[in-house]
Amino acid sequence: MLAVDETAPTPAALGYRMPAEWEPHAATWLSWPRRKGISFPGSFDRVLPTFRALVAALVESEPVCINVCNGAHEAQARAVLKDVDLARVRFYRIATNEPWCRDHGPIFLTRDAAPKLAVVDWDYNAWGNKYPPFDRDEVVPTRVAEMMKLPVFYPRMILEGGAIDVNGAGALLTTESCLLNKNRNFDLTRDAVEERLRDFLGVRQVLWLARGTEGDDTDGHIDNLARFVSASKVIAMIEDDRADANYEPLQENLARLRDIKLVCRDGADSAAPSQLLDIITIPMPHKMLREGMRLPASYANFYIANTVVICPTFADPADEIALSILRDCFPGRRVLGIDCRELIWGLGTFHCLTQQQPAV
């Protein structure tokens, strides 16, 4: 771990904040999967069409930056993307272990003064040391910052990007089961975790949900459970079947959301002080099993790009319900559903694969 000057000003003190995902992007970052990786056992070739569909949708919205290990890896990616407009794709020689850029990639911060863009490099241990090796993934944010000549900050706390969701007006959603898990930050109290989130992401309010769903190996990433779709509106996943293992955890999270009162950022006019959340529920897809294991399929794992919202679908009757709700939430964007029945074998979908670079 790099040495950190504890006397140095924090990003929040310097005026930086993490923008909401729906704010303008300069680009979307991805990490191309490796055949020798562990994310898609026995189905690597079957997930490549989904990666191609993702990039094809993104390039219509914004430039796409793709991390590749070397020239051969880039050639493999180009072969898959041969009929995509590669004029809007840029490849970076940044080696990774796995393709989940949301979790290992840079979290970008913005401010009004120069330098307007910065990177936070949280520590990374592959979801609680579950999937070694992760040495390449751990250093990706700093590698990106070096290539872009951006300042980089080191909070000295383990955090994956999928564990948090922000509304851009001072509030952050997360879960106790993930960020307070001893397999991440065994030496940090809840107050210490909140302090780092405020100092390094520029938020004021940390909103805690309880736990995740069955089959989710992230210990409860928020991007499978509940997401901001505006400064005061949240979509929340629910399970209608009382006998399902996900029913009680999702009901507990819903109850917590209903009790939350937002306190907006000073000077912000997008959410009134002490405002209750506007909550829209979306049903979970039917239980999906593969090789005896439950898969963490969820419509909350959508990604918001400049002109499109890309939502995972699962050939399920609830697909159209989810897409219709997201169309109402994002009337100025095209909402696109892409089949993720193969991709979910890697235990994640589109939000897990993407990381936004804000426009400045």
**Residues contacting residue 292 through CB under 8 Å, at least 6 positions apart:** none
Q: In the structure encoding, which two tokens stand for residue 52, read together?
A: 């191609």
Among left, alpha and beta (phi > 0; psi -120 to 50; other), residue 149 is: left
Beta bridge partners of 173: 165, 207
Phi-psi region of 173 (alpha: psi -120 to 50; beta: other; left: phi over 0): beta
What does the alpha-carbon distance between residue 156 and residue 197 come to, in Å, rounded to a whole number?
Answer: 11
Structure tokens at 29: 């970052």
Report the catalytic residues. Answer: 352
